[in-house]
Structure 1
């Protein structure tokens, strides 16, 4: 059966046109843009992600802050998704607007962004959310293993390497000392955080609210998409994407932009250990995933070169290691 057939069967929507959409770093999902006979566009996601949080949390947020997330289309029997061939099939209304990375965002849009995350973090954590949304465990082993594997692969680049592999190995060698410091700090901070009795109460977090997942829909409005990594965690899990320069080395948030964001979010005194921990784990995740793509000679050279550029950005002065280390 085609994607259109499955959408018609489970959601009652007759799509006349379906196109695959590039999903970026999310290799666990296939995304399509479909259009029905009336010209209405929909986002159709077929995902292997085990968590249902990416649909449950936006459903809750839409109830208290309409227009801040993509509207979820329910199945014929009222569910947020359906299981097809062992994967989760879901449909949302396509969000029309300007991706924030094509910005720059206006002051009012930064403030709307802050207000959106504040509303998300104020959602009540009830039994329903606890059952559907993973909780923070302060276990960095997944990212440590990924970094170690990438480190082994990159440092093993030798004779016969192509130009991209050679350039990656050269830059990695220059920044490896800081990367190892980030790795070790993540492990130390995790042990400290697991023992702390005074951590902030967990709240619903998007967990990946960078500008690539933000769409400006009006002069004073934005929509946040792709909640697949949502988690119950301290607010710092999301705030690190703005505070201190954010996570995108090619688009660091300025002091003015951070101020505009806080105009909407409200005054905050972030926990230094939590911010450092989340920056460390994100840095490990980014360099590991990006480096493995750049190394892979079976992938298209433009994709590999793009990922190489991202690794070099992470290792540069605006990358997360520079924020994650105390002397950064």
Structure 2
């Protein structure tokens, strides 16, 4: 019998991951089923840094179990880049990997499956307004909520601005991971691997590149040499400012709302508040989005 060892990484509370020998087992209600189709397609097309799901006995890429999707992928025995950082050469390799993903042709079946925006973004405005009402009109139930309310009220104007992302100019749409920060990158001696494709979308490149342009703290490049190394691998690109603002704003609102919600409900309430304060801080993504 293969032993299951639970893996405690990631902020997605709807997902559970275990290691089972040479395989990673994931049980999730998050994201969309397009994730399995996209990773299978990329891996079959020769993109080495994307682990593909194994097929079930029935030939499917996942199975439905108790209202969630169960999938199996090869276990990548590597370090999380969020823990170790990337060397200059690895930043260049990561740029090459993301460019390779963005350059893949999109077959009609994937174009029909992939959403144009992370579905979670649709509920963020309503959640933000609910949080605003609670944190500005109701007394806090404990010290953590009191500190959260103080943080929220201090940055209320900034948070309100995130509800108005503007209209991006149209642009070519490519396969985007939509969450390619270093927490989703595994490093082995010979390869970088981009994992956790639950939020994959069909969108302009700015959806992914925003993570490389500041505001992500240690989950993105923190110095200009690191950014230069990434774009050495990615190649020359002209970024559209309206699209960059749009996707930065959507991501910043998601981070603000979800980390504030987790500060209220747990787990890890104090850590969640600290992350929220970073998002809203002078070097955080919220300021980058509206600045």
TM-score w.r.t. length of structure 2 = 0.92
Q: CA deviation at 1:137?
A: 9.3
Larger Rg: 1
Which residue number corresponds to residue 171 of structure 2? 200
Q: How many residues align?
A: 291
Shift of 1:77: 2.9
State the partner residue of 1:304. Answer: 269
Q: CA deviation at 1:236?
A: 0.5
The secondary structure found in structure 1 opposite 2:192 is: strand
Aligned partners of 2:80 and 2:185 also within 8 Å = yes
Distance of aligned partners of 1:138 and 1:232 in 2 relative to their CA distance in 1, 3 Å threshold = same
> Paired residue for 1:183, among 163, 187, 190?
163
Instruction: Give the C-alpha shift of residue 126 in structure 1.
Output: 1.3
Unaligned runs of at least 5 residues, structure 2: none
Counterparts of 1:111 and 1:216, CA distance in 2: 13
Mapping of 1:1-328 within 5 angstroms? 15-35=1-21, 41-49=22-30, 51-136=32-117, 141-158=122-139, 161-184=141-164, 186=165, 189=166, 192-193=167-168, 196=169, 199-218=170-189, 221-243=191-213, 245-248=214-217, 253-296=222-265, 299-300=266-267, 303-325=268-290, 328=291
Distance change (3 Å), C-alpha of 1:144 and 1:249: farther
Contact 2:212 2:220 survives alignment (8 Å): no
Change in CA separation of 1:50 and 1:217 when aligned onto 2, cut-off 3 Å:
closer
In structure 1, runs of 5+ residues without a counterpart are 1-14, 36-40
Change (3 A) 1:65 1:106: farther
Deviations 1:176-198 (A, max 9, x none): 111112223x1xx1xx33xx5xx
TM-score by length of 1: 0.82
User: Aligned equivalents of 2:185 and 2:148: distance in 1?
Assistant: 30
RMSD: 2.2
